[in-house]
Structure formats: structure tokens, C-alpha cells
Amino acid sequence: MRVAFGWLSTVMLLGLAAPAFAQTWQVDPAHSALTFTNSYQNVEYSGQFRRFDAKIDYDPNDPARAKFDVTIDITSLDTQNSERDHSALGADFFDTAKFPKAHFVTTSFRKAADGKVIADGVLTLRGVSKPVVLTVAFKPNGNSATLDVTAQLKRLDFGVGAGEWADPSMIGNAVTVRGHLQLRAEP
């Protein structure tokens, strides 16, 4: 009896010492969006990627254990302008024949001086991997949540826009990317 109790106590203590894991969230694609804004000849335009897959592990009380892993289907680009979309998917821009997907994965999370949560990560786009910083806003509501992220990218850092399109006075170099995800907690 004493041995059984000792073994049980040890198992319980190990269980208490085991690390907690961030909550895993499932994305509701029908109510989520991945959008961007840029400019063409100093006129702002926006677009979205209609297909993406996101694996979200996040607990707002323990961001050190969080992880975002997002794969974007670049061929799902939609700017509501078929001519622009066709050009953007071509070799001078995204070159989706060679690079149909982009991938972002977080490397760490931290709190900024103003209290905002910042996620550091790496974006691989058009075969180029660069660090990217996201501002994260997470609003839980029971077994559901809303996750909003914003990032500022430089398209030329990833080789998007070759030749005459490399001129940032024609197509802006600064791109704002926003994600709005409706999430459901996985059991």
C-alpha cells in the first residue's frame, strides 16, 4: 500500500510539473480573411488570398508557448481586377508557376512597451525567407475567439515585382497585410 501510494504521489507531482500547452484553435474559413493593401500609381488598392491554412496554438496568458503556422495559396489572389491578378501571378511578381504557396511561422512572442502582443516570425514568399513582425489582437469568447494580426512588408525584399515593376513610384513597396480569423477551440 505504501509503495502504491508513493508511486501515485510521484505520478501526480510529475503531472503537475508537466508543461502546459497553448490552446489549439481551428480556423473557421467561411468567416476569416487574409487581406492586403498596396498602391498602384499612388492609388491604394486592396486584395485578398481566398485560400489559406492556419494552425493556431495560442493562450493570451502564456504567449511564450504560442505558435502560428500559416500556409497561403498565392494562386487564390483576388484584387477584384482580373488583369491585375493575372499579371501578379506571373513571373515578374509572385511567379506562382514556381512558387504557388507562401509560408509564415512564428519564432517568438513578446509584449511591446504599449502592452500589445508582438509575434516575430519568418515569411517565405517567392523562395525568399525574411523575418516579419505581426501585431496580434486576440479576443477569446468561451470556446471561440477572434484573432486579428497586422504586418508591414516590403514587396521588393521578397523579389515581388521585377524589371520596370521594381520602381516603387509605380507600385508601392510597402504592403500592409491583415488577417482576421474566427476561431473555435479544439477539444
CATH number for the domain spanning 92: value is 2.40.128.110
Residue 144 forms part of a structural domain: yes
Q: Give pLDDT, residue 21.
A: 57
Question: For residue range 34-54, what is the model confidence (pLDDT) as tens digits?
Answer: 999 999 999 999 999 999 999
Residue 8 forms part of a structural domain: no
CA distances to 8, 31, 137 from 52, in Å: 46, 13, 19
d(CA 13, CA 47): 52
Residue 49 forms part of a structural domain: yes
Q: Give pLDDT, residue 37.
A: 98
Question: For residue range 90-109, what is the model confidence (pLDDT) as tens digits?
Answer: 999 999 999 999 999 999 99
Low-confidence stretches of the chain (pLDDT < 70) are: 1-21
Residue 92 forms part of a structural domain: yes
Q: How many distinct structural domains can be found in the chain? A: 1
For residue 67, give its domain range.
21-185
Q: What is the pTM of this model?
A: 0.86
Q: Give pLDDT, residue 4.
A: 43
Kindly provide the b/e burial profile for residues 82-109, where b requires at least 16 CB atoms within 10 angstroms of the residue's own CB: eeebeebbeebbbbbeebeebebebeeb
CA 98-99-103 angle, 5° bins: 160
Residue 7 forms part of a structural domain: no
